[in-house]
């Protein structure tokens, strides 16, 4: 028998609308959207690694952030022709900080710092000396 809804009379479509699976599609789309949002939020939180060196009176302050949690980082510092290496471990937030005593600490000297982690993170920074010394008299 050929009925209104196909051969054998068929089953009448749901009264919830044209698409009987709307609720399940909404659920799937919501889950996919939530997963995409979570992935983009995780990517946004994972900042690009950076490292900085700041001359003090008796030591250099070296800090880094954006490294992976627990990452072992080898930090090389060049300041005023002197090279020093320090191995540190990034915190759960991906940061580290230490002070490095050097024979000559002067903000008028060129500084370069490079940090490389065992999980692939790396960063470097240069401090170019600004105008130093007594002011030039006209």
The pLDDT, as a whole number, for residue 116 is 97
Q: How far apart are CA 80 and CA 85, in angstroms?
A: 15
Question: Which residues make Cβ contacts (< 8 Å) with residue 109, sequence separation at least 6?
Answer: 55, 79, 80, 81, 129
The pLDDT, as a whole number, for residue 70 is 96
Q: Are 41 and 34 in contact (CB under 8 A)?
A: no
Report CA-CA distances (Å) from 59 to 5, 43, 56.
85, 35, 5
The pLDDT, as a whole number, for residue 57 is 79
Q: Are 125 and 113 in contact (CB under 8 A)?
A: yes
Residue ranges covered by each domain of the chain:
2-45, 50-127
Is the whole-model pTM more than 0.85? no
pLDDT tens per residue across all 138 residues of the chain: 555 555 555 555 555 555 555 676 666 667 777 777 766 555 545 679 999 988 877 888 999 999 999 999 999 999 888 899 999 999 999 999 999 887 667 778 888 999 999 999 999 999 877 777 777 777
Q: What CATH number should be reported for the domain whose range is 50-127?
A: 2.60.40.230
Question: Which residues make Cβ contacts (< 8 Å) with residue 14, sequence separation at least 6?
Answer: 20
């Amino acid at each position: 028998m050929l009925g209104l809804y196909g051969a054998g009379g068929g089953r009448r479509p749901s009264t919830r609308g044209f698409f009987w699976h709307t609720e399940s599609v909404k659920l799937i789309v919501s889950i996919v959207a939530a997963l995409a949002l979570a992935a983009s939020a995780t990517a946004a939180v994972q900042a690009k690694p950076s490292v900085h060196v700041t001359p003090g009176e008796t030591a250099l302050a070296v800090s880094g952030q954006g490294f992976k949690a627990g990452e072992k980082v080898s930090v090389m510092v060049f300041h005023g022709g002197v090279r020093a290496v320090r191995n540190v471990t990034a915190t759960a937030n991906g940061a580290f900080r230490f002070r490095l005593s050097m024979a000559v600490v002067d903000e008028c000297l060129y500084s370069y710092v490079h940090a490389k982690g065992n999980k692939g993170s790396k960063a470097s920074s240069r401090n170019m000396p600004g105008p130093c010394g007594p002011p030039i008299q006209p």
